[in-house]
């Protein structure tokens, strides 16, 4: 199984004007594992901010060898403290030809 490496960064602005602070949340697809009936995208999320996040929602898309998207599933990480790195996964029903996955942040709050 190929390992897809993708890092996505989400900037969250709190406040307005010149005094706004930005929080940075990054996601990386760590590994793709397959069983007979399912395929899993394992990902990590790093909270490089000064505040805790109650929930980070990731969408992981599974691709075939030609980079055609075959399925998208959701993974959730809860209670991510500032400076913390946590791991999650998204699971899809395996479809012949699925080889890689790419995860991205849908929301962080």
Percentage above 70 pLDDT, the chain: 79
Q: How far is CA 47 from CA 4, 20, 27, 74, 98, in A?
A: 21, 18, 9, 19, 30
Task: State how far the Cα of 98 lies from the Cα of 62, in Å rounded to an integer.
Answer: 6
Res 11 pLDDT > 60: no
Q: According to the CATH classification, is domain 7-108 in 2.60.40.3230?
A: yes
Instruction: Between 29 and 14, name the one with better pLDDT.
Output: 29
Longest Cα–Cα distance of the chain, Å, equals 53
pLDDT digits (tens, 9 = 90+) for 30-80: 999 999 999 999 999 999 988 999 999 999 999 999 999 999 999 999 999
pLDDT given at position 100 = 97
């Amino acid at each position: 199984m190929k390992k897809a490496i993708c890092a996505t960064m989400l900037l969250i602005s709190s406040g307005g004007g010149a005094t706004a602070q930005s929080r940075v949340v990054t996601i990386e697809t760590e590994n793709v594992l397959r069983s007979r009936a399912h395929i899993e995208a394992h990902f990590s999320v790093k909270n490089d901010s000064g505040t805790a996040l109650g929930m980070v929602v990731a969408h992981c898309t599974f691709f075939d060898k030609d980079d055609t998207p075959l399925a998208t599933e959701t993974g959730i990480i809860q209670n991510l403290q500032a400076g913390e790195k946590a791991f999650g996964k998204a699971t899809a029903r395996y479809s012949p030809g699925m080889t890689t996955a790419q995860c991205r942040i849908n929301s962080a709050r």
